[in-house]
Structure 1
Amino acid sequence: MKFSAMKWVQSTLSGLLVLLGGSEHLLAEPLETWNDGSNKQAILDFVETAVSKLPESKRVAVFDVDGTLTVEKPQSMEMYMNVNHLCEKKKLNPQTYTEQVYQQACNQNFTWLDNHLDVVQLTAFLNETDTSAYQYSMNFLGKEANPVYQAPLKSLFYLPMAELIEYLLTNDFLVYLVSGSDETFIRGMIKEDEFDDLDQKKLNISESHVLSQTVLLHLSEQDGTYIRTYKFRPPNNWNEGKAERIRMDLGETPPLLAVGNSMGDYPMLSYLFKSASVNGLSMIINHDDSARECSYEDKELLQKAHDNGWLIISMKGDFKRLFTSSVKRVKRVKGQCKNSRRSLAKSAIEY
């Protein structure tokens, strides 16, 4: 295995700290929650090359969220939240909320809800203030809503990915989250996620670096609050829309690093920086670990990754652990990972 100059410096300084009575933990080995191997070494070498040859302004990394940073099976975090809130409103005012989406939410008919994702996203907080939606998001992330784990949603963030982001930020990368989930929800998520087993405790990403699906807001002339409407701000943050959103918000220079897990991320993964000294790196997260999570693989994306020479990160082979120590998987039962139901919307006055 290649022993890089960066690793030699870290090792030497770490030893000096011990001799001087300092804390060796301050210079811990990067990516400690990753297994040693070719993928981990490729990431370390890539970052070292980028730092030595490119200015900070060119060190841009973009990450998908659902399935790349956070658990998305049986459903995404945002879906559980939206379903909960839709059913709350239906139970409080059944005569007002008569549209089909409210009843399907109360029935937890995830097959229907998955096929009407735009309707779910736009309706859940329709005509509410964006501030109240933001606060609701942060509160709901403290709930146990995913039936596969005994843990609040905010703990279902893949620890190795949080560590990778921390490592990139330490090396002066600009990190952006590019997601099909609602922008307000993702902003709440980065404030609430906790990593008790890492130094930073929180995901140190600015809210301005969230490039997610965005609901258009209407400014109320009465009290100056922003009200959520039934329209998305273009582009739609799926497929080609992800790459377009990156170009619109970050300018003409493509990202240096892109990470995703589905064909919906393929355009973003293909939109990469190239130069004479450094070429961009695409990484895909392959969910091949049925023991620790719901296993599912995007065969089409895997083939394209092979064809393009991208890094394929194996959940099973590359991650020592998936979550913080507080997360426990419930006993596995047949069908647990397929559109599972959980008792939601027990109280409409909790938030």
Structure 2
Amino acid sequence: MKPNKSLSGINRRVLLSGFAMVPALSGLSLSASAQMRPTQDEPLGSWNEGPAKKAILDFVRSTTDQASSKFVPPEGRIATFDQDGTLWVEHPVYSQVVYCLDRVPALVEQDPKLKDVEPFKTVLSGNREAIAKLSLHDLEKVLFATLTGMSVDDFDVDVKKWVTSAKDGRWKRPYTDLIYQPMLEVMQYLRSNGFKTYIVTGGGQDFVRVYSERVYGIPPEQVVGTAAGTKFGYQKDGTPFLTKEPTLLLNDDKAGKPEGIHLMIGRRPRASFGNSDGDREMLEYTGVGDGARLMMLVMHDDAQREYAYGPAQGLPETKVGAFSQDLYEEAKKKSWIVISMKNDWKRIFGFDGNG
């Protein structure tokens, strides 16, 4: 926690990795927003039979059976989930990065001088190669301009508008449609057995809170993410409001995840789910507690229905959501469960036409 740190110290996974691989701007067109997908009659109906599904079912049974030596009282039933790459699609670029780029035209409309100023001029061009060559300093300018300087309420309205209109380039659907159905079922199954589910993400906390309840069934107060500062003030008519400030309160990635869990939740999770090296410390923190524990990592190994990247187990290299061989070896050593998208999931999304 470094409360006086500028946003220039923000986790580069939200910034640099995504910008370096960004496609053309999403292009906005109004679309119906995603809804919570109902589970099937049986628990985890979108999962194939196998060690991953069995581990979830066994964990829930043992922690909720009062006759079990692994019983966990309801107040201790805490489960944490990374978002990008664990709950929804993160390739080829983080969705929040696309949001930042999509906001640039609106900023230029408010301040026309920016149209001739870099890096805004390059972003407005829509030239993928030129955008990918922008320096880190230039990318930080875009971050500052698009994520700060507005009221919290205005930001909330703007993100709500974006998530119901911006579409992913591959599936041509709103980003909030690209939620992994098997993971929705895990969260619903845990909640039906007395667990509280939290999102613990390196993405922007305010950004995810806008849609978390509608999409995941997780209320905003149960979202822990990278958090910027706010400043209290009054409008001309005396109405109090908060302005988003370019100061970093919590970088919720890697070691920042257990730090954020302690700060915002106050209890060590019993179960944690991630997909990348950025989730390592959260799973390690979860695993050293006593009693029953469940640590799981989603491996993206299905290029046909979603994407394939690692580089663990010989999968392609990536700068977005990397799952290293070192992390894979640690998972095997500590009996963490590695979920294979290709082998463990019957379906990827709640809509038809996976792939």
Name the TM-score, length of structure 2 as normaliser: 0.76
Matches within 5 A, 1:29-48: 29-48=42-61
The corresponding residue for 1:184 is 206
CA distance in 2, matches of 1:225, 1:84: 25
Q: Distance in 2 between matches of 1:164 and 1:292?
A: 20
Please give the alpha-carbon distance, in whole angstroms, between the structure 2 residues aligned to 1:70 and 1:27. Answer: 20
CA distance in 1, matches of 2:229, 2:280: 26
Q: Does 1:225 align with 2:241?
A: yes
CA contact (8 A) 1:39 1:311 kept: yes
Contact 1:129 1:225 survives alignment (8 Å): yes
Summarize the Cα distance change of 1:98–1:246 in structure 2 as closer, same or farther, 3 Å threshold: farther
Shift of 1:67: 0.6
Structure 1 stretches of 4+ moved >6 Å:
none
Q: Is the 8 A contact 1:151 1:327 kept in 2?
A: no
Change (3 A) 1:126 1:161: same
**2:76 corresponding residue in structure 1:** 58
Indicate which of 318, 330, 341 corresponds to 1:304.
330
Aligned residues: 293
> 255-264 or 131-140, which moves further after superposition?
131-140
- Partners of 1:225 and 1:244 lie apart in 2 by 28
Q: Structure 1 246/120 Cα, relative in aligned 2: closer, same or farther at 3 Å? A: farther
* Structure 2, unaligned runs of 5 or more: 1-37, 66-70, 311-322
**Structure 1 gaps, min length 5:** 1-24, 194-202, 330-351
Instruction: Please say if 1:130 is aligned against 2:152.
Output: yes
| Aligned CA distance change for structure 1 residues 274 and 131 (closer, same or farther; 3 Å) | same
Structure 1 residues 254 and 115 mapped into 2: Cα distance closer, same or farther (>3 Å)? farther
Deviations 1:30-86 (CA, angstroms, capped at 9, x unpaired): 000111112101110001111121101111101100010011001122111111002
CA shift digits 1:198-234 (9 cap, x unpaired): xxxxx2212110001112111122331111111121x
State the distance in 2 between where 1:143 and 1:39 align.
Answer: 35
Q: 1:135 to 1:113 in 2, by over 3 A?
A: farther
Partner Cα separation in structure 2 for residue 131 and residue 325 of structure 1: 32
Aligned mates of 1:142, 1:174 — CA distance in 2: 27
Q: 1:242 to 1:317 in 2, by over 3 A?
A: same
**How far 1:281 sits from its partner (Å)?**
1.3
Distance 2:81 2:246 in 1: 27
Which position in structure 2 is the counterpart of 1:249?
264
Give the 3 Å change call, closer, same or farther, for CA 118–287 of structure 1 in structure 2.
Answer: farther
Q: Supply the AA of the counterpart residue of 1:111.
A: A
Is the 8 Å Cα contact of residues 155 and 327 (structure 1) preserved in structure 2?
Answer: no
Determine the C-alpha separation between the residues in 2 that align with 1:131 and 1:64. Answer: 25
Aligned residue runs from structure 1 range 1-351, under 5 A: 28-52=41-65, 53-96=71-114, 100-106=118-124, 107=126, 108=128, 111=132, 120-193=142-215, 203-222=216-235, 223-233=239-249, 235-251=250-266, 253-272=267-286, 278-297=291-310, 298-300=323-325, 301-325=327-351, 329=355
Q: CA deviation at 1:146?
A: 1.9
Summarize deviations over 1:316-347 as a string: whole Å, max 9, x none: 11111111225665xxxxxxxxxxxxxxxxxx
Q: In structure 2, the residue corresponding to 1:79 is in which secondary structure? A: helix
Following the alignment from structure 1 to structure 2, what is the Cα–Cα distance between the partners of residues 114 and 176?
A: 34
Give, in whole Å, the separation in 2 of the partners of 1:113 and 1:310: 38
What is the CA-CA distance between 1:291 and the residue it aligns to?
A: 0.3
Residues 227 and 248, structure 2, Cα contact 8 Å, conserved in 1: yes
- Kindly provide the CA deviation profile for residues 80-102 of structure 1, in whole angstroms up to 9, marking residues without a partner as x: 11110023313553314766443
Alpha-carbon spacing, 1:288–1:328, altered in 2? closer, same or farther (3 Å)? closer
After superposition, give the CA deviation of every residue in 1:233-276 in whole Å (9 maximum; x if it has no partner): 1x31111011101011222x411001111111111111115566
Contact 2:348 2:354 in 1 (8 A): no
SS in 1 for 2:80: strand
Letter in 2 for 1:166: Q
Contact 2:39–2:45 under 8 Å retained in 1: no
User: Contact 2:86/2:298 (CA < 8 Å) preserved in 1?
Assistant: yes
Aligned pair in 2 of structure 1 residues 273, 265: CA closer, same or farther (>3 Å)? Answer: closer
Amino acid at match of 2:191: L
For residues 160-193 of structure 1, the C-alpha deviation after alignment (integer angstroms, 9 at most, x for no partner) is 1111101111111011101111111101121443
Counterpart of 2:26?
Answer: none
The 3-state SS of whatever aligns with 1:226 is strand
Q: Given the two structures, how large is their TM-score scaled by the length of structure 1? A: 0.77
* CA spacing shift, 1:246–1:74, aligned 2, 3 Å: same
